[in-house]
Amino acid sequence: MEENIPINISNRENVGARGCCGNSNPIIGRAGAEQKCAKLATYDWLSKIPLPANTARFDCVEVRFKNNHKDFFKVPAGLAVHTGDIVAVEASPGHDIGIVTLTGETARLQMLRKGVNPAKEDLRKLYRKAKQADVDKWLVAISHEHDALYKTRVAALKLGLKMKVNDVEYQGDDTKAIFFYTAEDRVDFRELIKILADELKIRIEMRQIGMRQEASRLGGIGSCGRELCCSTWISGFHSVSTASARIQQLSPNPQKLAGQCSKLKCCLNYEVEAYSDALKSFPDENVVLKTRQGDVLLQKIDVFAGTMWFGYKGKEHEMFALTVARVKEVIAMNKAGKIPEKIEDFTIKQDKKPPIGLVVASEDLRRFDKKK
């Protein structure tokens, strides 16, 4: 039986992006490294459910590295790994250190969801559970990332390169560093690599990513007040168009529709299907209602209230609310050759109530105070 040796992590602040929670306990053992604060955090909900009889445990696991960087690895026979274990895995070249996030059937389902077939693809190997010496070297490598990122940005600025270096990830054996950058055009960074190789004494790899991938890696707070969806749970990006905003009757204001990545917000796609289904029962947006007072044009729609707002041509600022059924009734009358007198005869009758602010202003605010 393999002995479970606790791993001591002296500086947890550096491994926060790797999925280690910054609590006061510096020991990571069989319970594993907590990933409550990690990007794209997962929960192994099948970990405590026993396998059926005569069923072998799935021999692949999911391992996370820095930020949203995850990959699948093949576990050698006889090695038992659990969620949260710090492991040494195959890299090119050398080895890397990561944290196991999914094992067993949960890892198999995750691979199926991401279209990874372990039988056809040549997965890299998981070597062993990390030893204390591996973790110490890993921490040293991580501690170099901040200075390396600063030096790279300064060097790129001096060379006049039109690129934004936004993140760096050191390999666990401290032999390689991957620099992630965004740029609008192709960048010739050969001179930059020479400078970095001389200063950092390490193998350099430059990897270009998109604006959305940058936001996913770095994280942040969205306009809704929550953490960015792309750094917490979205694992794949889908195209977002202004048609989604138009279907949901949103203002076509680029500043309001754009997220931190300066692209259209991913959340514009969340409810677009519900709006599309609801709009199927609505008349065409280009419909023109004929009345003796003049033509009436559509101004706006309240999808979930089932209300359409119309205004006379040339007097669009004066709007009248009609239910979908009443609009269809006017359309049917127009098709039959009947022209109603005015659109006001079909509007929703609303009770006129004084604004709430006027009611409060007219009352004594001390009326709620308890009398002694």
91 with 101, same domain: the answer is: yes
* Torsion of the alpha carbons at 46, 49, 55 and 61, rounded to the nearest 10: 30
What are the phi and psi torsion angles at 356 (to 5°)?
Answer: -60, -35
Share of the chain above pLDDT 90, in %: 32
* One domain, residues 23 and 117: yes
Say what the pLDDT of residue 16 is: 58
- Flag the least confident range among 150-154, 314-318, 324-328: 314-318
31 pLDDT exceeds 60?
no
Q: Do 119 and 200 belong together in one domain?
A: no
Q: Is residue 185, in this structure, part of any structural domain at all?
A: yes
Could you list the residue range(s) of the whole structural domain that residue 183 is in?
144-212
Residue 369 predicted with pLDDT over 80: no
Tell me, yes or no, whether 221 lies in a domain. no
Tell me if 231 is assigned to some domain.
no
Question: 10 Å Cβ neighbour count for 1?
Answer: 4
Give domain status of residue 354, yes or no: no
pTM of the model: 0.73
Mean pLDDT of 87-99: 92
Asked whether residue 45 is domain-assigned, the answer is yes
In a domain, 362, yes or no: no
What mean pLDDT is predicted for residues 228-250? 86
How many domains does one find in the chain? 4
Q: Does residue 75 sit within a domain?
A: yes
**Per-residue pLDDT, 74:** 93
- What's CA 155's distance to the chain center, in Å? 31
Query: What backbone phi and psi angles, to 5 degrees, belong to 361?
Result: -65, -30
Q: Are residues 286 and 274 in the same domain?
A: no
119-173: pLDDT as tens digits:
888 899 999 999 999 999 999 999 999 999 999 999 999 999 999 999 999 999 9
If asked whether residues 37 and 152 sit together in one domain, one would say no
Query: How would DSSP label each residue in 133-194?
Result: HHHHHHHHHHHTHHHHHHHHHHHHHHTT---EEEEEEE-TTSSEEEEEEE-SS----HHHHH
If one compares 37 and 140, the residue with the highest pLDDT of the two is 140
Q: What is the pLDDT of residues 186-222, one digit of tens each?
A: 889 899 999 999 999 899 999 999 888 898 888 889 8
Question: Residues with Cβ < 8 Å from 226, sequence gap 6 or more?
Answer: none
Domain identity same for 28 and 126: yes
Domain termination residue (choose one: 195, 212, 229): 212
Helix (H) or strand (E) holding 128: strand 124-129
- Percent of the chain scoring above 70 in pLDDT: 84
Q: Tell me, what's the pLDDT at 218?
A: 85
Q: Verify that 109 and 15 share a domain, yes or no.
A: yes
CB 50 within 8 A of CB 25: no
Q: What is the pLDDT of residue 87?
A: 94
In 3D space, the residue among 187, 188, 166 whose CA is nearest the CA of residue 178 turns out to be 166
Look at the block and give the residue holding tokens 């090695």: 79
pLDDT of res. 130: 93
User: Would 229 be classed as within a structural domain?
Assistant: no
Q: Which residue has the higher pLDDT, 3 or 260?
A: 260
Q: Are residues 198 and 208 in the same domain?
A: yes
Q: SS3 for 299?
A: strand
At which residue do the structure tokens 């209230």 appear?
Answer: 305
**β-pairing verdict for 176-182 and 164-170:** antiparallel
The mean per-residue pLDDT over the stretch 272-280 comes to 89
Based on the fold, state whether residues 24 and 90 are members of the same structural domain: yes
